[in-house]
C-alpha cells in the first residue's frame, strides 16, 4: 500500500515524526507538501467559497488543509493508483498498518473512503449490518449516522472517489474531513471505518490549522504562551490533557439499531 503523507514545509519536526512512524510500519510513502494557509488569498472566490471564509473559525488554515488533501487526490490520479493511503503528519501508526490498509483496500469499490482515524466528542456508533472482518480483530463497518465520523488523519480512498472530489470540490465549501457533505453531494458513494480505530493523533503536536486558542478568556491568555514556549511541567500537563481528549474522541461501539442515514449507495 502506497501512502501519501501531507506535511507543511515549515514543520520539519512533524516530518521527522511521521517518517519514523512509517519506517516502523514498513510503508512505502511519499511526502506531499501541504498548502500553507498563510499564503492563500481568502478573497479568491474561485478557490475558496465566501461562505467558507465567513463561517469557519480558522478559514486560512482550514482552506489550506482542504486544498492539501485535494492536491493528494490529484497526485493519486496522476500516479494511476487505484487505492491509496492518505495520512496527515501528526498521527501515531500501528506496526501492522501496511497489512491492515491492504485488507481495507481489498474491500473498497467505486467511489469509497474508509477512515482509519475518527474524531468525535461522542462515541461513534457503527452497525453490525454488513460489517467485514479485518486483521488484528478489527472490522470495517458503516456508521449509524454519516454525520458523526470526521477526520482527515488517516484513510484509504479509491481513485474514483479522488476523481469525483477533484471534479467537484472547488471552490472549497467545507473542511477536508466533512465526509457527510461529500457523500450528500455525490462525490463519494460510501463511507466506512476500520475499528477499533487503528490510527490516533499524537498529543505532542497541536493543530497547525490555526493558532492555539481557548477563546478570549483570562485562561486562554495564560495557556497560549505556555503552548508556544513549552514550559516543561505545564507543557507536559497540557500534552497529557490533550492525550486524554484524543482517547475520548476515538471511542467506538458496534450496535444493533437502524441507520439514521445509511452512508452507502453501493451494494453491501
Residue whose C-alpha cell reads 493523533 in the numeric block: 201
Q: Which pTM was predicted?
A: 0.87
Compute the mean pLDDT over every residue in the chain, rounded to the nearest whole number.
Answer: 88
| pLDDT level of residue 128 (50, 70, 90 thresholds) | very high
| pLDDT level of residue 251 (50, 70, 90 thresholds) | confident
Model confidence over 71-82: pLDDT tens digits?
A: 999 999 999 999
pLDDT of residue 215: 40
Judged against a pLDDT cut of 80, whether residue 257 lies above it is answered with yes
Largest CA distance in the chain: 53
SS (H, E, C) 205-266: CCCCCCCCCCCCCHHHHHHHHHHHHCCHHHHHHHHHHHHHHHHHCCCEEEECCCCCECCECC
pLDDT of residue 268: 60
Amino acid at each position: 500500500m502506497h501512502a501519501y503523507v501531507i506535511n507543511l514545509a515549515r514543520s520539519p519536526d512533524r516530518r521527522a515524526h511521521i517518517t519514523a512512524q512509517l519506517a516502523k510500519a514498513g510503508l512505502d510513502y511519499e511526502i506531499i507538501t501541504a498548502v500553507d494557509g498563510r499564503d492563500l488569498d481568502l478573497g479568491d472566490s474561485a478557490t475558496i467559497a465566501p461562505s467558507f471564509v465567513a463561517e469557519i473559525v480558522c478559514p486560512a488554515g482550514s482552506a489550506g488543509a482542504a486544498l492539501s488533501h485535494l492536491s493528494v487526490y490529484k497526485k493519486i490520479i496522476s500516479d494511476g493508483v487505484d487505492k491509496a493511503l492518505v495520512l496527515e503528519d501528526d498521527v501515531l501508526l500501528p506496526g501492522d498498518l501496511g497489512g491492515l490498509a491492504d485488507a481495507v483496500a481489498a474491500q473498497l469499490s467505486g467511489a469509497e473512503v474508509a477512515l482509519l482515524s475518527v474524531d468525535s466528542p461522542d462515541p461513534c456508533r457503527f452497525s453490525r449490518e454488513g460489517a467485514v472482518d479485518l486483521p488484528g480483530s478489527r472490522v470495517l463497518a458503516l456508521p449509524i449516522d454519516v454525520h458523526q465520523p470526521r477526520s482527515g488523519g488517516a484513510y484509504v480512498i479509491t481513485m474514483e472517489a479522488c476523481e469525483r472530489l477533484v471534479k467537484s470540490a472547488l471552490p472549497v465549501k467545507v473542511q477536508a474531513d466533512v465526509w457527510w457533505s461529500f457523500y450528500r453531494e455525490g462525490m463519494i458513494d460510501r463511507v466506512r471505518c476500520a475499528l477499533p480505530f487503528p490510527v490516533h493523533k499524537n498529543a505532542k503536536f497541536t493543530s497547525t490549522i490555526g493558532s492555539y486558542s481557548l477563546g478570549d478568556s483570562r485562561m486562554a491568555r495564560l495557556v497560549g504562551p505556555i503552548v508556544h514556549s513549552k514550559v516543561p511541567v505545564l507543557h507536559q500537563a497540557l500534552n497529557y490533557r490533550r492525550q486524554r481528549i484524543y482517547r475520548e474522541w476515538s471511542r467506538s461501539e458496534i450496535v444493533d439499531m437502524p441507520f439514521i442515514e445509511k452512508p452507502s449507495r453501493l451494494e453491501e
